[in-house]
């Protein structure tokens, strides 16, 4: 990677994409926001990114936004698109000028396998985040809870991971490096497996999962079932899997006012990431000969909502 400022492209302008792009741009990095719709690109160009803090204050961050990525030259692409768009995005990145490093800050399981099907393994970084954010419009995002970023190299590129950590730290983000990103990704997925489908089905904010006993029990059962699959696959230890329910409930409390991305997708009639969360647990279970009835039921319910059948 080059000397400061880094040329950074944030790919995907949902809640997390806007939040990350605004934070990095404010810290002095050369940030471009690559979106799919010309209408959103125009709105961002005209208005900048509006970041709403928990106390109600609004920060406006000017941003370069475009729906055409073929002419972008980037040192680093930060991928925040939905999991079902990962492969298409990887192909788009491969056509950029040069081959940039790529940091995936996505939800779900299996994104790294889709990236390495197209891009060099040694240029891929993996990351997860626990910041709460809600997209309010094409150019507005509200912070709903503090958290942290965790990143690590997939192909042994510790040096680049250190540089990216410094970039995020300079933007006043809380961030740490991990040498075990597969475990970190699964731990985050187990949290989403408990929170996302139930908030979407019941149309509630995250905090309601921890507050209401029936939702707390359902979410815990889904996480426990998924954790058992992670143990059988050799990804998590039994203790790590057992701790996942408490971690999920703690995130519910820390991001109590947040509307999960899956809830937002259902409310707006959009496709969700259920296939890379609860649906992935069903598929892994089938490959192991293990039944996963709770995650299967939640996946079916979300699919029904997506199709407008309920």
For CA atoms 86, 73, 124, 107, the dihedral sign is: negative
% of the chain surpassing 70 pLDDT? 97
Is pTM beyond 0.85 here?
Answer: yes
Q: To the nearest whole number, what is the mean pLDDT of the chain?
A: 93
Region 191-199 average pLDDT: 97
Region 180-192 average pLDDT: 95
* pLDDT score of 5: 66
In the chain, list all ranges with CATH 1.10.1040.10: 182-306
pLDDT at 69 over 90: no
* pLDDT score of 310: 63
What's the order of all strands across the beta sheet hosting 49-52?
58-61, 49-52, 140-145, 132-135
* pLDDT score of 101: 93
Region 267-273 average pLDDT: 94
pLDDT at 97 over 70: yes
* Cα distances (Å, whole numbers) of residue 132 to 15, 207, 263: 9, 12, 13
Region 190-195 average pLDDT: 97
Of 244, 251, 260, residue with least CA distance to 198: 260
Residues annotated catalytic, as ranges: 188
Give the 3-state secondary structure percentages of the chain, helix then strand then coil, rounded to 5. 50, 15, 35
Contacts of 26 (CB under 8 A, 6+ apart): 59, 61, 171
Count Cβ atoms within 10 A of the Cβ of residue 287 and give its class: 0-12 exposed, 13-18 middle, 19 or more buried: exposed
% of the chain surpassing 90 pLDDT? 81
Region 169-193 average pLDDT: 95
Architecture of domain 7-179: 3-Layer(aba) Sandwich (3.40)
Residue whose entry in the numeric block shows the structure tokens 């954790």: 227
Helix (H) or strand (E) run with residue 286 in it: helix 278-288
* pLDDT score of 1: 55
| Length in residues, the chain | 310
What is the topology classification, in CATH, of domain 182-306? 1.10.1040
Region 154-182 average pLDDT: 90
For CA atoms 157, 161, 162, 164, the dihedral sign is: positive
In the chain, list all ranges with CATH 3.40.50.720: 7-179
**φ/ψ of residue 150, rounded to 5:** -130, 125
* pLDDT score of 78: 97
pLDDT at 195 over 60: yes
Q: Yes or no: say if 179 and 152 are a contact pair by the CB < 8 Å rule.
A: yes
pLDDT in tens, 98-142: 778 999 999 999 999 999 999 999 899 999 998 878 889 999 999
- Categorize the per-residue pLDDT at 209 as very low, low, confident or very high, splitting at 50, 70 and 90: very high
pLDDT at 4 over 80: no
pLDDT in tens, 19-31: 999 999 999 999 9
């Amino acid at each position: 990677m080059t000397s400061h400022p880094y040329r950074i492209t944030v790919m995907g302008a949902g809640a997390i994409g806007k939040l990350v792009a605004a934070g990095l741009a404010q810290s002095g990095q050369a940030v471009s926001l690559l979106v799919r719709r010309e209408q959103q690109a125009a709105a961002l160009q005209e208005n900048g990114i509006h970041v709403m803090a928990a106390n109600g204050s609004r920060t406006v961050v000017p941003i370069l936004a475009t729906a055409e990525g073929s002419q972008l030259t980037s040192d680093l692409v930060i991928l925040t698109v939905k999991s079902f768009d990962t492969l298409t995005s990887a192909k788009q990145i491969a056509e950029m000028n040069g081959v940039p490093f790529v940091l995936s800050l996505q939800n779900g399981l299996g994104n790294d396998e889709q990236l390495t099907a197209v891009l060099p393994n040694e240029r891929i970084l993996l990351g997860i985040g626990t910041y709460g954010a809600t997209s309010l419009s094409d150019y507005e995002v509200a912070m709903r809870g503090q958290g942290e970023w965790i990143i690590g190299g997939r192909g042994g590129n510790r040096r680049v991971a250190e540089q990216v950590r410094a970039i995020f730290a300079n933007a006043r983000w809380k961030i740490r490096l991990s040498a075990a990103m597969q475990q970190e990704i699964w731990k985050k997925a187990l949290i989403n497996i408990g929170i996302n489908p139930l908030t979407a089905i019941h149309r509630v904010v995250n905090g309601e999962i921890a507050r209401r006993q029936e939702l707390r029990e359902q979410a815990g059962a889904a996480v426990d079932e998924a954790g058992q699959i992670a143990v059988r696959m050799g990804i998590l230890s039994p203790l790590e899997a057992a701790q996942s329910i408490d971690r999920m409930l703690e995130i519910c409390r820390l991001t109590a006012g947040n509307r999960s991305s899956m809830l937002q997708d259902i409310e707006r009639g959009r496709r969700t990431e259920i296939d890379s969360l609860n649906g992935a647990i069903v598929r892994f279970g089938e490959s192991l000969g293990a039944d996963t009835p709770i995650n299967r039921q939640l996946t079916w319910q979300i699919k029904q909502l997506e199709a407008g059948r309920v």
